[in-house]
């Protein structure tokens, strides 16, 4: 065991990130902390996360409090405090808050990299002066290096 990799965080503490992340996102273990094996974050899911696919990473979510709407493939479920969901790579999914206050979750990505994508997204948003969501084309441009693809909305008939 390598003692230099030992990490102990106080309640509410976060590992340092390259750029500031929104206060609703707390990094507990960075990809570099785990030699790329996984990343772990505590997240308040305050807004909808559009339907997307992780082509390489499996995503694990454990709900700490509140209720999280999970659209997975053709299934729509509500995941509540104490429940766990595994979202395997390659399957489209979307997340949304369905409780007030919004759900607080532990999110594990394996292999890691999710926090790196969020850093790039935050950097883009702060550089553009935007505070709201990006369109799908912009999201896909930022997500592509992390092998994540957001679904394009259907064209009006």
- Quick: pLDDT tens for 60-72: 999 999 999 999 9
Please state, in angstroms and rounded to a whole number, the distance separating the CA atoms of residues 148 and 114: 10
Rounded to 5 degrees, φ, ψ at 13 are -80, 155
Please state, in angstroms and rounded to a whole number, the distance separating the CA atoms of residues 24 and 62: 16
In this structure, is the dihedral angle defined by the CA atoms of residues 146, 51, 140 and 44, taken in order, positive or negative?
A: negative
Please state, in angstroms and rounded to a whole number, the distance separating the CA atoms of residues 16 and 2: 20
Q: Please, what is the Cα angle at 112 between 111 and 114, to 5 degrees?
A: 125
pLDDT tens per residue, range 76-123 = 999 999 999 999 999 999 999 999 999 999 999 999 999 999 999 999
Report pTM: 0.90
Give the chain's largest Cα–Cα span.
60
Angstrom CA distances, 32 to 38, 39, 143, stand at 9, 8, 19
Rounded to 5 degrees, φ, ψ at 122 are -65, -40
Domains of the chain by range and CATH?
24-115 (2.60.120.10)
């Amino acid at each position: 065991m390598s003692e230099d990799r030992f990490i102990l965080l106080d309640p509410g503490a976060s590992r340092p990130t390259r750029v500031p992340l929104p206060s609703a996102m707390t990094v507990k273990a960075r990809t570099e902390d785990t030699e790329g094996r996984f990343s772990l974050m505590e997240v308040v899911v305050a807004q909808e996360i559009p339907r997307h696919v992780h082509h390489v990473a499996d995503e694990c979510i454990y709900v700490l409090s509140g209720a999280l709407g999970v659209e997975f493939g053709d299934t729509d479920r509500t995941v509540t405090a104490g429940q766990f969901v595994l979202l395997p790579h390659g399957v489209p999914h979307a997340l949304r808050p369905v409780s007030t206050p919004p759900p607080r979750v532990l999110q594990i990505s394996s292999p890691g990299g999710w926090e790196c994508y969020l850093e790039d997204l935050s950097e883009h948003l702060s550089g553009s002066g935007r505070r709201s969501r990006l369109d799908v084309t912009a999201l896909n441009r930022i997500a592509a290096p992390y092998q994540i693809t957001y679904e394009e909305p259907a064209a009006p008939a």
